[in-house]
Amino acid sequence: MQPATTDIRPGQSVELLKELHILTRDGRMNQDSRRKLKQVNHLFQFIEPLLAELRADHADISLVDHGAGKSYLGFILYDLFCQERAPGARLHGIETRAELVERSRALAARLGFAGMSFHHLSVAESLACEDLPARVDIVTALHACDTATDDAIRFALARRARFIVLVPCCQAEVAATLRRHKARMLASPLAELWRHPIHTREFGSHVTNVLRCLQLEAHGYQVGVTELVGWEHSLKNELIIARQQGLPGRRAAERLDELLGTLGLEELRSRFFAPS
């Protein structure tokens, strides 16, 4: 264990970090906790200017953390920004595991984070939930595994989110589909990109994020992709930030459809859907 003073941002609540078990009771952290805090704090640096832009427009910012898990990101966003700089903001965490929702509710109550609420909802339930804003400013999903990132995108599109911030993780669905249709696709030289199992996994992960970006562009978002932190801290390191621009992108929709067909992924059109 090492002292954590150099890893904590100015004004960051030490008590919160202890409650999240990032810090021990004596204010130290292990290497795994240090990596976790570095990732979340670095992600905050990308989200902070979006929140500042929204606050300049309206005080009642609405943010939804979809697939929140233990809500590390939500609590740190609220602590570092909303608590002092946007007290009218509302931060909602959506999670399917009831015990994590109850734990987050209890922690928010102990810390006096009145603008945070947590919802035990399935994806389908979140789409219809009237306790969530009809229009959301920001939807985030940090390390939402496999199709959970797509669930966050679906929610964000339904609630017309102004910004979408995603750090995908453990993407297996596209790779499994590529694997099932490998024999049929081997007639094309493109299939060499995923002929070997390790390439199937890595190519499938890459294609998943390409399809997500095209989908967002098709729905009228301007999309940027970068790395979150250095690869030594996390192998799940791709950061996608999308800003609503308005008109649907017809060319992106065409490219999305063509790519699904070229790679034999037609059965996934209902997941990577473009505007009708």
pLDDT per residue as tens digits for the range 208-220 = 999 999 999 999 9
Read off the pTM. 0.93
| Percentage above 90 pLDDT, the chain | 76
Residue 233: predicted pLDDT: 47
DSSP codes joined into one string, 100-125? HHHHHHHHHHHHT-TTEEEEE--HHH
- Nearest CA among 21, 36, 27, 38 for reference residue 5: 27
Q: Tokens 């009708």 sit at which residue?
A: 276
Any idea which of 26-40, 145-159, 169-183, 198-212 has the lowest mean pLDDT? 26-40
Q: Report yes or no: 223 and 156 within 8 Å, Cβ to Cβ.
A: no
Is 205 domain-assigned? yes
| Structural domain containing residue 195 | 171-219+249-276
Is 68 domain-assigned? no
> For the chain, how many structural domains are there in total?
1
pLDDT per residue as tens digits for the range 79-105 = 999 999 999 999 999 999 999 999 999
Is 206 domain-assigned? yes
Is 227 domain-assigned? no
**The token pair that represents 124 in the structure block:** 């389908």
**The token pair that represents 87 in the structure block:** 């007290």
The helix (run of H) or strand (run of E) holding residue 51 is helix 31-57
How much is the mean pLDDT over the chain? 91
- Nearest CA among 175, 172, 159, 153 for reference residue 127: 159
Is 181 domain-assigned? yes
Residue 231's pLDDT band (cuts 50, 70, 90): low
**10 against 166, higher pLDDT:** 166
Is 208 domain-assigned? yes
Residue 235: predicted pLDDT: 56
Residues near 9 by Cβ (< 8 Å), separated by ≥ 6? 41, 44, 80
Is 86 domain-assigned? no
Is 263 domain-assigned? yes
- Angle at the Cα of 77 from the Cα atoms of 13 and 220, rounded to 5 degrees: 170
- Nearest CA among 196, 189, 203, 197 for reference residue 265: 203
* 224 bridge partner residues: 241
Residue 110: predicted pLDDT: 95
- Nearest CA among 112, 111, 73, 69 for reference residue 94: 69
Residue 5: predicted pLDDT: 58
**The token pair that represents 24 in the structure block:** 């021990």
- Give yes or no for residue 2 having a pLDDT over 60: no
pLDDT per residue as tens digits for the range 12-57 = 999 999 999 898 888 888 888 888 888 899 999 999 999 999 999 9
